[in-house]
Amino acid sequence: MKKGKSTKFKLRRKKPSSPPKPPPEIEASTSSAAAPVVVGKKKTAGPTRLWMKFDRTGQSELFECDKSVILKRVCIPARDLRILGPIFSPSSTILAREKAMVVNLESIRAIITAEEVLLLDPLRQEVLPFVDQLRQQLPQKSVFKNDRTGHIVAEDDEMQFPTSGQWLPVPEAVEGVEAELPFEFHVLEIALEVVCTSLDSNVAELERVAYPVLDELAMNVSTKNLELVRSLKSNLTLLLARVQKVRDEIEHLLDDNEDMAQLYLTRKCIQNQQSEALLGAMVSNNIIPAATHLQRLNSMTNGSLAINHLNDHDVEDLEMLLEAYFVQLDGTRNKILSVREYIDDTEDYVNIQLDNQRNELMQLQLTLTIASFAISIETIIAGVFGMNIPCTLYNVQGIFWQFVGGSSAVSILLFFLIWTYARWKKLL
């Protein structure tokens, strides 16, 4: 009985074994394996950049987003954003896409559409004048507005698209819309104005500093003045390259009418809306027989395409805008070239001065050489009589001063003979 009780007591004391705890290394690995998705999201997220949006009414908004959001918003290829990156920042580019215009002029890097402009890094010191001009000028010249359906219409003459079988001729609508500069051209004009004004101010500052430095160098050729002219030439070269890049880009657009036609974003948007309205109205008029409907659709579509084709080649407004700033940039470039010519003239004048001084030094050296040759003759005679050679002249009284005076006169005569010959040959 005692053994049984003790056995029963031992069975009661026995507890079920709990599963062993994993070591800390395994716990750390399992916990880290549970979050690979979060790490992946952080890696795929691109860097955000600061942008500023301006709409037609001049309303602005600051926001940060990555390039994927911008690409979806403006519908441009990803390679176009590289133009706005730091690698291509020194270049000047104006690209036209289907629904946007990519502008990279000096420090202004923006994407312009028919409705808004997206400005990159708007808080930089170089971009602030452009931001101020947008805030001042956009509310004054907003001649377009949006209707309730999101279409672009003119404030002075709203376009009525065809409904219920009544058709408005397309040329009148397009002519009414293009009476003033479109939104994208107005923004481009502001950008060109800011860039040209900045370049003009830089050239004026260069002229203000350059001419006194060059005049000082012409009067006094010193190491300090030469160093100032060297830094001046480097600044002039950089400024000329900046002006030349903007000028070449505008010239490239002026040489190609198709590129200029692609910049008419508002016109392309209006043409697309007209085409959609025409097709929608034709489909809604289902009372017309099928043959008549098809014939009318073909005729109206061909007429609309012909009118759009004519309008696509009408780039007079943009051409006049670009030509005005091209002439201004050409004048700025001529100012820089005039400063460079003044620098070249000053360098030529300094070189002439240095050559003149070098010639004077050579003439002095030639004169001293002739004098040395004449004196060397007298020295040879004195050296000969200075030897310990028996001579009867040593016993003649007063012969020393006569001999010295005669040899000196011969040397002086020889000097003037050689010097006269050098002057006759125009060596002196």
Of the candidates 82, 182, 97, the one whose C-alpha atom is nearest the C-alpha of residue 142 is 182
Distance CA 425, CA 417 (A): 12
C-alpha count within 13 angstroms, C-beta hemisphere, residue 227:
3
Answer for the pair 189, 108: CB distance below 8 angstroms, yes or no: no
Q: Is the pLDDT of residue 389 over 70?
A: yes
Q: 202 in helix, strand or coil? A: helix
* DSSP category for residue 45: S
Answer for the pair 106, 242: CB distance below 8 angstroms, yes or no: yes
pTM of the model: 0.68
Distance CA 165, CA 281 (A): 7
Answer for the pair 169, 120: CB distance below 8 angstroms, yes or no: no
Distance CA 304, CA 273 (A): 12
Looking at per-residue pLDDT, the higher value among 143 and 88 belongs to 88
User: CB burial class (10 A; 0-12, 13-18, 19+) of residue 249?
Assistant: buried
Q: What is the DSSP string of 213-244?
A: HHHHHHH---HHHHHHHHHHHHHHHHHHHHHH
Q: Which residues contact 87 (CB under 8 A, 6 or more apart)?
A: none
Longest dimension (CA), the chain: 171
3-state helix, strand, coil in the chain (%, to 5): 65, 10, 25
Question: Which one-letter amino acid corresponds to residue 79?
Answer: R
| Strand ranges in 113-263 using DSSP code E only, listed in sequence order | 116-120, 144-146, 152-154
Distance CA 4, CA 288 (A): 108
Of the candidates 207, 184, 328, the one whose C-alpha atom is nearest the C-alpha of residue 260 is 184
Give the confidence band of 187 by pLDDT, cuts at 50, 70, 90.
very high
Phi and psi torsions of 180, nearest 5°? -120, 165
Answer for the pair 199, 236: CB distance below 8 angstroms, yes or no: no
Give the confidence band of 172 by pLDDT, cuts at 50, 70, 90.
very low
- What pLDDT shows up at residue 16? 46
* DSSP category for residue 163: B
Give the confidence band of 88 by pLDDT, cuts at 50, 70, 90.
low
- DSSP β-ladder status, 116-120 and 144-146: unpaired
Per-chain mean pLDDT for the chain:
76
Phi and psi torsions of 131, nearest 5°? -65, -40
- What pLDDT shows up at residue 32? 37
Reported as a single tens digit per residue, the pLDDT across 47-69 is: 788 999 999 888 889 999 888 88
Q: Is the pLDDT of residue 310 over 70?
A: no
Answer for the pair 116, 61: CB distance below 8 angstroms, yes or no: no
Q: 389 in helix, strand or coil? A: coil
Answer for the pair 147, 99: CB distance below 8 angstroms, yes or no: no
CA angle 57, 62, 66 (to 5 degrees): 120
Reported as a single tens digit per residue, the pLDDT across 3-42 is: 444 444 343 444 444 444 544 443 433 333 333 433 444 4
Of the candidates 356, 370, 364, the one whose C-alpha atom is nearest the C-alpha of residue 420 is 370
Q: Is the pLDDT of residue 250 over 90?
A: yes
Phi and psi torsions of 16, nearest 5°? -65, 140
Looking at per-residue pLDDT, the higher value among 91 and 210 belongs to 210
Whole-number CA gyration radius for the chain: 45
**What percentage of the chain reaches a pLDDT higher than 90?**
40
Q: Which residues contact 322 (CB under 8 A, 6 or more apart)?
A: 250, 253, 254, 260
